[in-house]
Amino acid sequence: MAESDLKLLGMWASPFVIRVRMMLEEKGLSYEYIEQDVFNKSELLLKHNPIYQKVPVLIHGARDICESLVILEYIDENWSWIGPPVLPATPYKRAIAHFWAAYIEDKLMLSFVGILRAPTEEVKAEKIAETHTILEMLEGAFKKCSMGKGFFGGDSIGYLDVILGSYLTWINAAERISGAKLLDETKMPLLVEWEKRFLAADCAKKSLPSVDQLEKHARNLQVTRWKVDSAN
C-alpha cells in the first residue's frame, strides 16, 4: 500500500492527534492531514469513526484505525522495519509502558484541565496539587523506564515519550494561565530535563502547537465552554 494512502483526521490542539503526528514523523511517513471541526462533525469523521466519532482517525487505504494508543501500536507494527521500535522489546517492559500509558491517560489531562476549569481558588489549588502528584509519579516512571538514558524509550523516542510529550504544550499553557509551575525542577528534575530534550526533537517541533496559540485556545474554552471567570 503506498504511503499516499495515509490520511489523518485530526484537530490541531488535541494531544491524542499530536502524538500520532509525532509518531508518523518519527517513522518518516508522509500522510495527508485533514483538520476536523470537532464541534461540527464532518461526514468523513462520522464515516471513518462511527463508534466514537472522535479524532484522531488514521485512514490507511481501506483501513480505519481509531483510538490514539491503538494507532501508535499499529504504526509501530505495520512499519516495523523503519527506525528503532517505538514500543519496548520485552514483554515485561511493554507491560510497564502500557501501564504508565494507561495511568497518564486516566489522570493527567483531567487534572490539568481541572486547573483551567476551577471555579474557585481553592479548587484550583487542589487541582494543582493533584497534577504535581501525578507528575511526581511519572518522575519515578521515567527513572525506571529510561534506565539513565535520555528518553522513556531509552536512547530514542518511544511510546511513553510521545504520549506524555503530546501534553506538553497544554501543560505549559496551563502554567501560564494559572500562574503555577507544574513541571517543577525542584519536584521532578528528571522530567524537566526530559521536557527540554523532547521539545528539541523534530517530531515535537513539527507536531506541537505554540504555547501562544494554545493559551489563546484554552482561554477561549474557559470563557465559551467552561464558563470560568477569566480573572482566575
Binding flag, residue 63, another protein (CB under 8 A): yes
Binding flag, residue 70, another protein (CB under 8 A):
yes
- In eight-state DSSP terms, residue 89 is S
Segment interacting with another protein (CB under 8 A) among 58-66, 145-153, 177-185, 215-223: 58-66
78 touches another protein (CB under 8 A): yes
Is 2 near another protein (CB under 8 A)? no
Beta carbons within 8 Å of 158's beta carbon, 6+ residues apart: 86, 87, 88, 97, 151, 152
Only one of the segments 35-43, 95-103, 112-120, 217-225 lies at the binding site for another protein (rule: CB under 8 A); that segment is 95-103
User: Could you tell me whether strands 32-35 and 6-10 are parallel, antiparallel, or unpaired per DSSP bridges?
Assistant: parallel
Our finding on whether 98 is near another protein (CB under 8 A) is yes
Question: Rule CB under 8 A: is residue 82 a binding residue for another protein?
Answer: no
Cβ proximity to another protein: between 100 and 151 the closer is 100
Helices (H), 27-120: 43-48, 68-78, 91-117
Which grid coordinates are listed for 96? 510497564
* Minimum distance, C-beta of residue 219 to another protein, in the bound complex (Å): 31
* 103-162 binders of another protein (CB under 8 A): 103, 137
74 is a site residue for another protein (CB under 8 A): yes
Residue selected from 99, 120, 197, 220 as contacting another protein according to rule CB under 8 A: 99
Per DSSP (E only), the strands in the chain are: 6-10, 32-35, 57-60, 63-66
Nearest to 145 by CA among 114, 84, 99: 99
Contact 59, 8 (CB under 8 A): yes
Distance from the Cα of residue 100 to its chain's centroid: 13
* Per CB under 8 A, 94 contacts another protein: yes
Work out whether 73 is an interface residue with another protein (CB under 8 A): yes
Q: Give 95 or 223: the residue with its C-beta nearer to another protein.
A: 95
Work out whether 65 is an interface residue with another protein (CB under 8 A).
Answer: yes
If we measure between CA atoms, which residue out of 95, 130, 97, 99 comes closest to residue 112?
Answer: 130
**In 3-state terms, what secondary structure has residue 8?**
strand
User: Which residues are at the interface with another protein (CB under 8 A)?
Assistant: 51, 60, 63, 65-67, 69-71, 73-74, 77-78, 91-92, 94-95, 98-99, 102-103, 137
